[in-house]
Chain A
Amino acid sequence: MARKDLLDIVSLDRKEIDHILEQSVPFKELFTRSVKKVPALKGKSVLMLFYEPSTRTHSSFEVAAKRLSADVTNFDVAHSSITKGESVRETIETLQAMRTDYVIVRHKASGLPGTIARLTKACVINAGDGAHAHPTQALLDAFTLKEQFPDPTGKKVLIVGDILHSRVARSTSTILKKIGVEVAYLGPGTLVPRTGPENIRRFTDYKEAMAWGPDVVYLLRVQMERQDVQFFPSVREYHKLYGVTEARLADIRDRGLYIMHPGPVNRGVELCDAVMDYERSLINDQVENGIAVRMAVLYWLKA
C-alpha cells in the first residue's frame, strides 16, 4: 500500500486517506510527551524545495521531518543558482547526486512536483503547485474536521472566498467529498468557477449560503498576490459581502458553527479580529494537526 509520492488528493483512494488520517493520531499523541522526537527517519534526508514563499507550510514540514529525526536541508531558492538560470531538471539531477530521500516541493507551476517525481528516485511531496493541489493541507483539514465529527458523513462544509485561484479549495473539497462530506462554495461570481464538479453547490449570496445549513465555514485567504486582474472592487467591499464581520460571527456563534482557515489570515478581509478568539475556531488546531499529518505522510511514503 505504500507509495513513493504524494502529489494530489484525486489519486488517493478512500482506504489510503483513512490510513493516513488514522496514522496521524499516534503522531499527535507524541506532542504531549517531554521528548517530541522519534527516531523513525533517522539518517534520512529531506530537501525543502520552495520556489514560492511560504512560512506555515514550510515550517510545518520542517518541524514534522525533524520530529521524525530526519535531516532537513533548505534549498534556498532566492539565493540559489536558479536565479542564475539553472533549470529545474539540472537542480533535480544535483539533488539526485546528493541522494536525498524526500523532496518537498512548492512551485507556482501546476504539475511540476509530478515532473520532479518522475525524474528522481526520492519520495516527492507536493507542498502546493499553482492552482492545482495542496494535498497535505487537505489531509490536515480532513483530520481537523474528523476530530470534531468522528463520522463526518453528511456534514456540510461551506468554502468561502477565492475558489478560482485556490489549490486549497480544490484539494480540500476533493478530500471532503471522498470522506462523505457535502461541500458548497460561496464567493463573488468572478472567483467561483462555473464549471467543475456538479455535486458542489455554488452561492454568491451569504444569506443563501447560510440557509443551506453548513456545519463548518471554511474561509480561504484572499490571495492578493495572485490577482493580476481585479476580481472584486475593493477589500472593504469583499469584507462587507463575504467576510466574517462581528455581526456575522454572532450569527455563526448562535448556530454553533466551526470556523476553519488555512492561514495566514488577512484580518479585516476574510475575517475580523474577534474570529481568532472564537471558541469554535479550529484555526490553531489546523496548525498543530498539520505537523502530525505531515509526519504520518513522511512515515507512510517509501522510496
Chain B
Amino acid sequence: MEPLNLTAEDISKGIERLADAIRAKNPNQPLALVGIRSRGDEVAERVLNRLSTDDRELSFGVLDISLYRDDFEHLHENPALQESDISFTVEGAHIILVDDVLFTGRTIRAALDALSDYGRPAKVELAVLIDRGHREMPIQPDYVGISLDTCRHDHVLVSLEGTDGLDQIRVVQKETP
C-alpha cells in the first residue's frame, strides 16, 4: 500500500491549531511548555514561538524520559540519555507537556513521573502534534494538532526541520508487527 505523507504545510497548520487551542483555553495565564525528547522539544519550541506574541509569562523546558521507561527488561541495551533542562520552578506551575506523536501513552506516563521529581505542578496538560490512537494507558491529550487514523502496527515517521533537517510525516502501513 502507498504510504500516507503529510507535508510541511500540514505540520505548520497542526502547530497553529495547538497554539490557538492553548490560547483559547488559557487567556493570558502564565504557562510552561515542556517538550519531551526527541522532537517533542522542537514541537514545543514552535508552539512557544506562536504564543510569544501573547501578553503572558512563558517558560520552556526539555525532558528526557529514558530513565523512567518501563521496558528496560526488553531492551538489548539501555537507551542513550540526553540532558533534561527544566530551569523554571515546577512547584505550582501550569505545565503543558508537548510531544510529537501520542501512541500507547507510555512515554507520557514516564514523563509525568519524571516531572513530579522536579516538584509538584499546579496543573499538567498534554499537547501532541499527532494523535495516532491505540492507547495502552488511561492517558488522553488536551490539545491535538493532527488526528491520524492508523492501524496498530503502522509506523508513523515524523521528521522535523530542526532535528532531522526536513518537515515531513510518513505513515508506513504494516499488517503485522
Chain A residues with a Cβ under 8 A of chain B: 1-2, 19, 23, 25-27, 29, 33-35, 37-40, 68, 299-300, 302
Contacts and interface: CB of A to CB of B under 8 A. Distances in A.
A302 B77 contact: yes
Nearest to A301: B78
Interface in B56-90: 64, 66-68, 72, 76-78, 80-85
B164 interface: no
Nearest to B87: A32
Contacts of B83: 25-26, 29
Given A33-B117, A35-B118, A37-B117, A23 B81 contact: yes
A299 B67 CA distance: 9
14 contacts: A1-B77, A19-B80, A25-B83, A26-B82, A26-B84, A27-B81, A33-B118, A34-B119, A35-B118, A39-B68, A39-B113, A40-B67, A40-B78, A68-B67
Nearest to B70: A39
Contacts of B119: 34
B107 to A, nearest CB: 15
Given A34-B119, A38-B68, A40-B67, A29 B78 contact: no
Interface range on chain B (Cβ under 8 Å from partner): 20 to 34
Contacts of B72: 40
A26 B67 CA distance: 10
A66 to B, nearest CB: 14
A286 B101 CA distance: 40
Given A29-B84, A39-B67, A39-B68, A300 B78 contact: yes
Contacts of A300: 78
B157 to A, nearest CB: 24
A26 B117 contact: no
B77 A2 contact: yes
A210 B12 CA distance: 61
B67 A23 contact: no
A260 B65 CA distance: 34
A29 B76 CA distance: 25
Contact of A302 (B64, B76, B81): B76
B117 A35 contact: yes
A302 to B, nearest CB: 6
Given A29-B84, A35-B117, A39-B67, 11 more contacts: A23-B80, A26-B82, A26-B84, A29-B83, A34-B118, A34-B119, A35-B116, A38-B67, A38-B68, A39-B68, A302-B78
Contacts of B116: 35
Interface in B2-31: none
Nearest to B78: A299
Determine which residue in B67, B78, B114, B119 has the highest number of CB atoms from chain A within 10 A of its CB, and name it: B67
A299 B75 CA distance: 12
Contacts of B66: 40
A2 B78 contact: yes
Given A26-B83, A29-B84, A2 B117 contact: no
Interface in B112-134: 113-114, 116-119
B176 to A, nearest CB: 28
Contacts of A26: 64, 81-84
Nearest to B113: A39
A297 to B, nearest CB: 11
Contact of B117 (A25, A38, A68): A38
A138 B71 CA distance: 31
Contacts of A33: 117-118
A299 B85 CA distance: 20
Contacts of A39: 67-68, 113
